[in-house]
Structure 1
Amino acid sequence: MKVLLAGATGAIGRPLLARLLAAGHAVVATTRSAERAAALRAAGVEGVVCDLLDPDAVRRTVAAARPDAVVDELTALPDDYDIRRKDLYATTNRIREAGTAALLDAARAAGASRYVVQSIAFAYAPEGDVVKDESAPLWLAAPAMLAEATRILAANERKVIDARDLDGLALRYGFFYGPGTYLAPGGSIARQVRSRRFPLVGSATGMTSFIHVDDAAAATVAALAGGAAGAYNVVDDEPAPLRDWLPRYAEAIGARPPLRVPAWLGRLAGGPLAVPISTELRGASNVKARAALDWTPQLPSWREGFAGCLDRDPDALHLA
């Protein structure tokens, strides 16, 4: 299969490229950098420079590639994951909103039969069960900039899934960990935890579903071969509250235990997202993805993942 991959140099893009090539797919990878395009070509991939905010350039690139499938991993998150920043998701929102629209239109025009788009599994509305399947409503009324990010992702999902002339799949990834992520030993969150700037706020009962980037890449390759149009939670088997996973993560990277602070102080110091993230997030179930994509995470729990994988790579770029 010929696959066009947008977002080939991000945290998931790198392991995804390796898995696509290992599975025998021919890959055309887009990047905004001529230097990165050259590096992609040196790795055996057809690297193409393309401004995904330019619909004409996107149309020309996709038409020339004539892919069977398009994988949309568009993000542009900053190296420093600081939830106090009002513009934390601004650039990613822009590229996801305009870039995905242009890429989907171009894929349809070029006759692609499948489109796989990145989404997130940590944007379910904080109501009812603490672990959600794909039918649960998204948190469109979330506080601060999370609401805008969720709105754009939800709109992208609908465009892709409802496209009548191709099979559209939205992969709702859990929080990434592993090489190139904020949770890698040299990453932004790791630095915050080491300096005790990532506390347990309030009850710290907010749920998190994780996925190692290698497992996320494997699920993405599986989504090219199977699965009906729709949304899929790509997460491990064990959603966990912050009060459980954060101390174990700190231990795994050799940091002191996280501080505990009351909700009012967390809100004052951490901004409008600090309390919701710590107390209201919902986890996600991977039952649908396991069955429909014929996929199983090789690291079924963040517990073994944190213990065995975090020390393998000191670099960090960004978390999808």
Structure 2
Amino acid sequence: MFRPHPLLGLAAGALLAATAATAAPGLARTPAPEPEYTITVDPAAAGTPISDSMYGVFFEDINFAADGGLYAELVRNRSFEFGPADNRSYTPLTGWTPTADAGGAGTASTADDAARLHERNRTYLRLDLANTGDGRYGVTNAGYTTGIALRAGGAYDFSVWARTDAAAGTPLTVTLHDAAGRPLAAPLRRAVRGDGWTRYTGTLKATRTTDAGRLSVRAGGTGVLRLDMVSLFPRDTFRQRPNGLRRDLAEKIAALKPGFVRFPGGCLVNTGSMYGYDAASNWPRARSYQWKDTVGPVETRATNANFWGYNQSYSLGYRCAGQCSAL
């Protein structure tokens, strides 16, 4: 039998108190006409039962609970959007180290200009290549904490958005290796062609198990190569969803059989501005969580300064539309 939950009475009392507080005395203004509503009540209907022992899961992006945690992406700062607005120690190259092999030369920098991938994805990596022979120059990502976690025999899907000004194209080599440079998978090779952004994909298969892997993306030839959204995703995600959740963590949460999930949390919802991430607002980063920014293809989503002192990519979102995450 349905019993009204005691918290419902508290909520109603708070609502009445808030309504009364708006009627401040001494304001000489004509009140707006009250809208009319019709409420139909069926006294014989049963409400939804709420057990006093119901429990659920509270999720808030604290201590890398989303990026670097439940969200399965293995590359840290994959979109080069980190910056001092997130954390005073951050730069757009946080998480990345310029690297080269024999004959490889160039410079790695980041740019925020009209050549970007998308207006809401403001910054990208620019490689000015000056290789000789078969040399390769590029960047290496160390992932989160100790490095990129790999399981022997596991498939890992790589993707990157790229464009080049080299008329003959730019050869790209992607490798997984440990800190000493020893390979952890056979290399992946792609040829970037054209001065428009194109998404390139491939799969790397891990040969060893480690929690200290590295991902290197290096290019040959000369000219300017632009990269963005450098991604490495385990094929084996929760319920096998592309761009989804870490299977080991999500299965443990599902095993709790929670009656509800509180998402996206507390402090990061009600702090910061409510401005949009757009030109009219000068692309603000210190904003409260806005769920509409978490919908749509990940390369077009806003980024945000996380209340707890780091960057929040909004890759973990509310709804799936194209290639996006889903709870």
TM-score by length of 1: 0.24
Greater percentage in helix: 1
Instruction: Give TM-score, length-normalised by structure 2.
Output: 0.24
Look at both structures and tell me which one has the larger radius of gyration over its CA atoms: 2
